[in-house]
Chain A
Amino acid sequence: MKFRSDMEAMVLASLVDGPKHGYAIVKAVRTRSDDVFRLGEAQLYPVLHRMEESGWVTGVWEPVEGKPARKVYQLTDPGSKVLDQKRREWQEFSEAVGKLMVTGGTA
């Protein structure tokens, strides 16, 4: 089974509904997972940079009035394909674990 605890998958999923900067990604993951997943906040940025190098996301600096500029990340087509692949892997993984846990519990 390929799927593991995958920060890249969570970041890609958080960008599906539009471009976001780093802190917004952290918030999206936290909110959508009902505060179950808490990303290591400083650790997020190396992951975003790797994904940018791989071409899964693009990052653009945007100036903000009276505040530091933010780098906003957007999902690319290759990134969407990777996300689809990760979703399929997760589906297989969760189904397999579900079956194992249910049948294992009743044996």
Chain B
Amino acid sequence: MSDGIETFLVKLERDVRRLAGRHQAEQVVAELRAHCDDSVAELMAAGQSREAAMAQTLARLGQPSPRDFVPRDGAPSWLDRSRRSQWVFWLFLAWGVAPIWLIYGDADRVVPIVVGLAVTGLGAFGLLGAYGARFVAWPLVRAVIVWFAVNTFLMSVFWVDTRSGSGPFPQPRWVVERSVSLKDVTLREVKDIRSQQREAQSLLEYYRGLRRTGIDTMPSYGKLDHGLFRLPSPDDPASIRSTPDLSTARVQWLESGSNHVARLASWADSSRESIERYKIALDRPYAETLKAMVQANGTIVWLPFLFALTSALLGDMVWSVWLKLRWRWSRSSA
């Protein structure tokens, strides 16, 4: 067979295999090869040279579309095998990539988003799989590869690697920046409160002493006239002085404030650690971030793939069972 005919057959086989599977591609090419063989033999018998016969045979074949060789399987035209692979590919990309960005964009709605995506995926891939799960599997593999490449690149640009023992996933850069900014402010406030706490502690001891001696007097407000340790109004010292158990009330109030500051301090210690980690992540070189995103995507890419494939297999199975049942009913009623 001439190079031209062989090239034509090889290209057609590749395209048909992609659209309709290996078996169909082999059948088509075997028929066309026999056709070309007959055509060349006949033209040569009529006196043409081998080269001329091959060239004419190739010209007579025309330019068929590989889509014409895709067998029908009862699906509507917009969902036939050749188009179905495109549907699977783009649907998986939209359905698989979006969740990661949706979930981090709206972390409060993780559960409804995940449930919504699961239901959508089950329905969509189940429907596509009803016409044959094997025609879903290959486009899914291609989509996974593209998803891995595209999502890894986008995440390496817009996300940072904040993974640690407590936080297993990377996070969007803007979320981390906002978090660092907010926590920085809060930590400054905690620092102020701690300085107040030291004054409050001496005041607490003072009131405890007063309570023990039973002598009450006006508090020294000083710098404590604000923030967490703001005391009862200094505008009415008479009312304070006249309160029977004022020292006890002040002691309890100051103790409560001290406990609160202690909790804040504990939180601040853990926050300081995560802020340091976030700042390191934000300043990390691109190559390291890219490597981290490759690892992260490699870990999570299989979950939607397996879910979509399982949905397609379920759709295939349910549809096969339904067809068998319908066939039995039609036979029993006939």
B30 touches A68 (CB 8 A): yes
- Contact for A42 among B27, B30, B42, B62, CB less than 8 A: B62
Residues of A within 8 A of B31 (CB): 22, 45, 70-71
B68–A46 CB distance below 8 A: yes
Q: What residues on B are CB-neighbors of A35 within 8 Å?
A: none
Task: Please provide the chain B residues from 22 to 62 with a CB less than 8 Å away from any CB of chain A in the complex.
Answer: 27-28, 30-35, 37-39, 42, 60-62
Cα distance A67–B69 in the bound complex, in angstroms: 24
Q: From A42, A50, A53, A69, give the contact of B34 (CB < 8 A).
A: A69
List A residues 28-52 near B (Cβ within 8 Å): 40-43, 45-46, 49-50
* Contact of B32 with A42 in the complex, beta carbons under 8 Å: yes
CB pair A67 B37 closer than 8 Å: yes
Within the assembled complex, what's the spacing in Å between the Cα atoms of A41 and B43?
Answer: 15
Task: Determine chain A's interface SS by DSSP, over half rule.
Answer: helix
Neighbour of B69 across the interface among A22, A46, A64, A69, CB < 8 A: A46
**Is B191 at the interface (CB under 8 A from chain A)?**
no
B67-105 CB contacts (< 8 Å) to partner A: 68-69, 71-72
Tell me the complex Cα distance, A41–B38, Å.
12
Cα distance, A1 to B183, chains bound together (Å): 79
CB-based contact A70/B34 at 8 Å: yes
Q: How far is the CB of B205 from chain A (nearest CB, A)?
A: 95
Q: Taking the nearest CB of chain B, how far is it from the CB of A66, in angstroms?
A: 10
Complex Cα distance A45/B37, Å?
15
Q: Tell me which residues across on chain A come within 8 A of B68, comparing CB atoms.
A: 43, 46
Cβ-neighbour of A45 out of B32, B42, B63 (below 8 A)? B32
Given known pairs A23-B34, A53-B72, A67-B34, the reply for A40 and B62 (CB within 8 Å) is yes
Taking the closest CB of chain B, its distance from the CB of A62, in whole angstroms, is: 10
B30 cross-chain contacts in A, Cβ below 8 A? 68-69, 71
Are A42 and B64 in contact, with the CB atoms below 8 A? yes
Check B33–A68 contact: CB distance below 8 A: yes
- Residue among B31, B33, B69 having the largest count of chain A Cβ atoms under 10 Å: B31
Cα distance A43–B31 in the bound complex, in angstroms: 12
A24–chain B nearest beta-carbon distance, Å: 8
In the complex, which residues of chain A have a beta carbon less than 8 angstroms from the beta carbon of B64? Answer: 40, 42-43, 46
Q: How far is the CB of B144 from chain A (nearest CB, A)?
A: 31
Known: A23-B38, A42-B62, A67-B37. A50 touches B72 (CB 8 A): yes
Smallest CB–CB gap between B321 and chain A, Å? 23
The complex places the Cα of A43 from the Cα of B68 at a distance, in Å, of 8
CA distance A70 to B42 in the complex (A): 16
Would you call A68 and B34 a contact (CB within 8 A)?
Answer: yes
Given contacts A24-B38, A43-B64, A45-B28, 18 further A-B contacts (CB under 8 A): A23-B35, A23-B39, A26-B35, A41-B35, A41-B39, A42-B63, A45-B35, A46-B64, A46-B69, A53-B71, A53-B72, A68-B30, A68-B37, A69-B34, A70-B34, A71-B27, A71-B30, A71-B34
21 example contacts (A-B, Cβ-Cβ < 8 A) are as follows A21-B35, A21-B38, A22-B35, A23-B35, A23-B39, A26-B35, A27-B42, A40-B62, A40-B64, A41-B39, A42-B61, A43-B62, A43-B68, A45-B32, A46-B64, A46-B68, A67-B34, A67-B37, A68-B33, A68-B34, A71-B30
User: Could you tell me which A residues sit within 8 Å of B by CB distance?
Assistant: 21-24, 26-27, 40-43, 45-46, 49-50, 53, 64, 67-71
- Top 5 A-B pairs, shortest CB-CB distance: A23-B38, A46-B68, A42-B64, A68-B34, A42-B61
